[in-house]
Amino acid sequence: MLQAIRNAFKLPDLRRRILFTFAILVIYRLASHIPIPNVDLQALRSVFESNQLLGMLDMFSGGAMSSFSVMAMGVYPYITASIIMQLLVPIIPQLEEIAKEGEAGRNKINQYTHWLTVPLAALQAYGQATLLSRGQMRVLTNFGFGSPEDILPTLSTILTLTAGTVVAVWLGELITEQGIGNGVSIIIFGGIVARVPQRVGQLLVSESGPWALIFFLIVTAITVLAIVFIQEGQRRIPVQYGKRVLAMRGNRLRIAGGQSTYVPLRVNSAGMIPLIFAQSILIFPGVVASYFVYSQSALIGQIATAINQMFSPGSNIYWILYFFMVVGFTYFYTDVIFRQQNLAENLQKQGGFIPGIRPGKRTADYLNGVLQRITLVGAIFLGLVAILPWLLRDVTETQTLLITSTGLLIVVGVVLDTMKQLEAQLLMRHYEGFIR
């Protein structure tokens, strides 16, 4: 592997791409430490220690939200817009027709995703700022539309956070075009890895001391190996292409096709999206209930407190629901992605067929059945990874992992994807790659 890295830096074009990626990451990390005005940083830290939703959003902002910087929302609105567009494509016929237009269609869908990102970013900026400006500890001051003197600071905060998201997405696309790997994923990856030293310090000062760190290092290594095994796992469905007569040359027929190949069905086609869905929905009742905890009505306050405790990470019900929701969303999202691919229809158009299976609906039913069976393994694995802090908290008396469950899936996925891109670049230039 070291030799492969040296070979990568020997190639001027590849070296430029790698250095460009690092430079963009440095720019993003510097920008993520520029806080917006009127922020009480001490109160902000206290809020983040007790709010899981903000912790998840902080991960997607690359750690910028914990300081409520100009990049506080990061690329999360773009990810939300991408998920919404993926769900809308099979529902809206016009979008489905655009998606079938090849590269031009994908560019059009991507353009719609960028347009949707802006209002989502503005809406999320207002929601997060409102959440941080209420309660006992007001992180933001002079925010809201209640008085005329607060309108200008409120608009400037919303516009600043929205512009930060647009710049973050732009930096990510620069990495995708001129660097190595998927830019948006690498920005998130950089933020997750940047927080590892802080988590190491938290484990060292915990009651278990260095033993907790050693234990979590071992658990993290085992989990990474399992994630790689599941992420790369696939069921290969054999496909045969029939022979076709293309042209007549003299007394000879020109025949094409007849080769055999396979369709890879991944064990985990959904990635870390089910964890995001499940966590967002589970946290929502607690966030709503937190507004009514200090209600003037004692009954409403007690009900809100009970809901807040039930849907907090300290509750066993939270983790049990989390597991089953991750499993359910894995099946849901995998089915959405599979329907968009139209494998059976595309195979039939290209003259391909699965031996022993009739083309068309029979092929679609067969592929769907196989995918449902292998997805069970991926869904249960994702569920176990999601509740890993809960499973380990009685052993180490802490839920502080080196990297969160969702973060670990992102890190492993980004590393694998980047290594494959570097591998392809090296093999194109007749160098030995990373994977042997």
CATH code for the domain in which residue 323 is found: 1.10.3370.10
How many distinct structural domains can be found in the chain?
Answer: 2
Domain limits at 273? 233-400
C-alpha angle 307-308-311 in degrees, rounded to nearest 5: 80
pLDDT higher than threshold 70 for residue 401 = no
On whether the CB atoms of residues 430 and 289 are closer than 8 A, the answer is no
Verify that 182 and 48 share a domain, yes or no: yes
Specify the 3-state DSSP secondary structure of 296.
Answer: coil
So what's the pLDDT on residue 174?
A: 92
Burial class of residue 309 (count of CB atoms within 10 Å of its CB; 0-12, 13-18, 19+): middle
The answer to whether residue 223 is domain-embedded is no
Instruction: Supply the pLDDT for residue 85.
Output: 85
Between 434 and 220, whose confidence is greater?
220
Angle between helical axes of 405-428 and 12-31 (0-180°, round to 10): 160
Average pLDDT over residues 156-173: 90
Mean pLDDT (whole number) for 55-82: 73
d(CA 86, CA 269): 14
Residue 62 in any domain: the answer is yes
Pairing of the two strands 260-266 and 234-241: antiparallel
Question: Among the listed ranges 23-37, 191-205, 355-369, 420-434, which one has the minimum average pLDDT value?
Answer: 420-434
Please tell me the predicted confidence (pLDDT) of residue 368. Answer: 87
- pLDDT recorded at residue 399: 55
Residue 166: predicted pLDDT: 92
Q: What percent of the chain has pLDDT over 90?
A: 5
pLDDT tens per residue across span 79-111: 888 888 877 887 888 888 887 777 788 888 888
Residue-wise pLDDT for 219-265, tens only, equals 788 888 888 888 888 888 888 876 655 555 555 555 555 577 888 88
Residues 295 and 277 in one domain: yes
Whether residue 122 sits in one domain with residue 58: yes
Average pLDDT along the chain: 77
| pLDDT value for 250 | 56
